[in-house]
Structure 1
Amino acid sequence: MARNEQLIRQHKLLQLLEYSHFGRTLDELRGDLVLDLGLTNLHERTVRRDVEALQAAGFDIQNETVERGKVYKLGQNNKGVHEVGLSASEMIALSIGRELLYPLVGTQYWRGIETFWNKVQEAVPDGVFDHYSRYRKTLHVFGGPSKSYENHEGMLKTINRAIVEHRVVEVEYESVGKPASTRRIEPYGLAVYQSSIYVVAAAPEVTEPSERLRNWKLDRFRHATALDEYFKPDPSIELSKHLGKSIGIFSGEDPTMVQIRLGQRAAAYVREDPWHPEQKLESHEDGSTMMTIPASHPREVLPKVLSLGADAEVISPPIFREAVAEAVQKMAASYAASSV
């Protein structure tokens, strides 16, 4: 564990030195490391040893004495190591990806995206950038999120560190309509779904293996503390498989196969914009289409079915059909109650 922590610190040190044009003192570097990595304490001697280890590994880290003390910075031998050669089409692809990641604005991820994007712009020849600028105006990305996770930056750093080090995290979590409660979670990773960030973590108090792993919405975290307590990750857990089992963020080991009857227009929409890679569409002689799709909770199906109006009907299982029917009945009652 200590070796892993040292590598993380040294990698972050290189980033801090790279971003600083005027150098950083050991105390400044120590403060930045504590803040960025969510550490509870860090001694200046440890930072000095990390700097010396990087110098021994061949990194050109120089020091000089200025008014505020001895500062460290990267020397000329490390300049230009990030230069890249890109085509205009590759720059367009990168810029589109950057815009799609706007929910990360204000987080350490976004700073990484921005610094890389700035390096790309500085590294490519003027002709390539001019060509990119002309063609980028022909493609527009819109309909994206209107929120960011800037206010959650500290918690994200804490959770990231806990994921890497397999540490238990104590969180204050406030579900919609419920009072905040203190929970302990074992974080495995992060997921971005429909502009929201989720922490994929196990609940230690849950003993049923198929129910332990859950997705916790970061918006509902009020506080997060990495404890000096470690957990042993389950080697059988594959996050990509876990997250891909359902059409939404409610994932489980055994998703339910839901059948939905679609009219011709609804079927055309679903073919254009599939709900899930494993969806199956079966055309019937009366012009309707039966769609079979995996889902872990009725709340995943509800908004999608309602968006298609009367052109979509949940057939089975009963719990999913009843959830949609109840929502439709309540909506009908609201509209029938009064007209303004």
Structure 2
Amino acid sequence: MARNEQLIRQHKILQILERYRYGCLLEEIRDALVDELGLSSLHTRTVRRDIESLQAAGLDLDVHDSGRGRVWKLGASGRGMHKITATATELIALSLGRDLLLPLSGTPFWVGVESFWTKIQEQLPEGTWEHYRKYRQVLYVTGLSAKNYSAQEGTLKNLNRAIHQHRIVEVAYQKPGQPSPSGRRLEPYGIVFHQGSIYIVAAANELSEDDPNRIRHWKLDRFKKAEVTDDYFKVPKDFDLEEHLGGSIGIFAAHEPMDFKIKVTAAAASWVVEDPWHAEQKVEQHEDGSITLTVKAAHELEIIPRVLALGPEAEVLAPKSTREAIKTRVEKMAEVYSKR
């Protein structure tokens, strides 16, 4: 079994034992793992090996005889191992992160965020909270997406389970403008939270491994269902999620991102410098104060809206196809606005 699956089980065992003061039978731990991790089956021998690994790591886990049988419990030191301490400054940083994650409301991730925040509230002294509330009143987060993913909670749970277990999912996926969803078999690799929306990085199972369009980014909003199958897949050895996403300014997927060159006038240059489009963008300064911006993107639709937002202050120099695409859009816009 994969190492990460073993670690997930062991972490879940600790969570289960934390909930039960008087301990659990081995079979009860096994049943809870199967239910909470969505497993099809699990042998008690595997659970016992996981507990022994936790003990070998120094965690306080004991077994005791009871009227129900032999039960496993967290020892006194084990129950105190998650003692939380935080300063008011750390609370401010954490609460800002919590606010920024509000679009995840309705997902298992948000449940974890709120659970942790509640634990902190229960354990920190009132003086720390008074200091935190005083300074948090002058710091406000805005501009967040109004989304809520409650309706997709079950779908996201299935996709998350398939990612950890490396299992193929059968989905019904409906693109905008498509009359009905189409059935697909996907190999999910990871979950991305981008500008208030959740995307699933997954390979289309029907495409060959050397197809450059095999790995795509599928928007969670468009999943009508996702069922985990009993078929397994292997993640390519050279696939790295961070590296895969780092080559572009947006969420489009591409085998090889392209270079885009944009001329920005002196009047708008400071806006682009103040709010970079990408961490690795290149800016060439000119004597008249204008700049030439070179940035990588997976698709021209990641560039065109940004250029149009700058109006006549920005001009795409390359590639030629993107320049022509913007020209066509501008001409059509001119037709619309000239009708009156």
Whole-Å separation in 1 of the counterparts to 2:335 and 2:144: 33
Partner of 2:318: 316
Partner of 1:336: 338
Partner of 2:138: 138
2:143 aligned with 1:156: no
Superposition map of 1:17-36 within 5 A: 18=18, 36=36
Partner of 1:195: 196
Whole-Å separation in 2 of the counterparts to 1:142 and 1:47: 49
Cα pair distance change 1:132/1:213, threshold 3 Å: same
323-332 vs 290-299, which moves further: 323-332
Superposition map of 1:135-284 within 5 A: 135-178=135-178, 179-207=180-208, 208-284=210-286
Whole-Å separation in 2 of the counterparts to 1:116 and 1:64: 32
User: How far off its partner does 1:79 sit?
Assistant: 3.3
Partner of 2:102: 102
User: How far off its partner does 1:184 sit?
Assistant: 1.0
> What letter matches 1:85 in structure 2?
T
Cα distance per residue 1:161-216 (max 9 Å; x no partner): 21112111111111111231111111111111111111111123323353322111
Counterpart of 1:270 in 2: which secondary structure? helix
> What letter matches 1:169 in structure 2?
V
Cα distance per residue 1:251-275 (max 9 Å; x no partner): 3232111111111232111111100
Cα distance per residue 1:237-287 (max 9 Å; x no partner): 111111011111113232111111111232111111100011111122343
> What letter matches 1:87 in structure 2?
T
Whole-Å separation in 1 of the counterparts to 2:324 and 2:13: 56
Task: Indicate if the aligned counterparts of 1:36 and 1:157 stay in contact, CA closer than 8 A.
Answer: no
User: How far off its partner does 1:22 sit?
Assistant: 10
Task: Indicate if the aligned counterparts of 1:162 and 1:168 stay in contact, CA closer than 8 A.
Answer: yes
User: How far off its partner does 1:293 sit?
Assistant: 0.7
Whole-Å separation in 1 of the counterparts to 2:325 and 2:7: 50
Task: Indicate if the aligned counterparts of 1:187 and 1:199 stay in contact, CA closer than 8 A.
Answer: yes
Task: Indicate if the aligned counterparts of 2:262 and 2:318 stay in contact, CA closer than 8 A.
Answer: yes
Whole-Å separation in 2 of the counterparts to 1:322 and 1:34: 56
Whole-Å separation in 2 of the counterparts to 1:151 and 1:30: 29
User: How far off its partner does 1:34 sit?
Assistant: 5.6
Counterpart of 1:199 in 2: which secondary structure? strand
Whole-Å separation in 2 of the counterparts to 1:154 and 1:52: 30
Whole-Å separation in 2 of the counterparts to 1:325 and 1:240: 34
Whole-Å separation in 1 of the counterparts to 2:173 and 2:312: 37
User: How far off its partner does 1:142 sit?
Assistant: 0.7
Partner of 2:128: 128
Backbone CA RMSD of aligned residues: 3.2
Task: Indicate if the aligned counterparts of 2:105 and 2:149 stay in contact, CA closer than 8 A.
Answer: yes
Which structure 2 residue ranges, 5 or more long, are not aligned? Answer: none
User: How far off its partner does 1:108 sit?
Assistant: 1.3
Whole-Å separation in 2 of the counterparts to 1:293 and 1:267: 15
Cα pair distance change 1:235/1:300, threshold 3 Å: same
Cα pair distance change 1:24/1:327, threshold 3 Å: farther
Task: Indicate if the aligned counterparts of 2:254 and 2:299 stay in contact, CA closer than 8 A.
Answer: no
Partner of 1:326: 328
Cα pair distance change 1:62/1:10, threshold 3 Å: farther
> What letter matches 1:8 in structure 2?
I
327-336 vs 152-161, which moves further: 327-336
Counterpart of 1:248 in 2: which secondary structure? coil
298-307 vs 329-338, which moves further: 329-338
Residue 301 of structure 1, aligned match among 287, 300, 303: 303
Whole-Å separation in 1 of the counterparts to 2:86 and 2:231: 45
Cα distance per residue 1:297-325 (max 9 Å; x no partner): 11111221122122111121122112222
Cα pair distance change 1:284/1:194, threshold 3 Å: same
User: How far off its partner does 1:10 sit?
Assistant: 4.7
User: How far off its partner does 1:222 sit?
Assistant: 0.8
Cα pair distance change 1:270/1:307, threshold 3 Å: same
Cα pair distance change 1:171/1:65, threshold 3 Å: farther
Cα pair distance change 1:165/1:327, threshold 3 Å: same
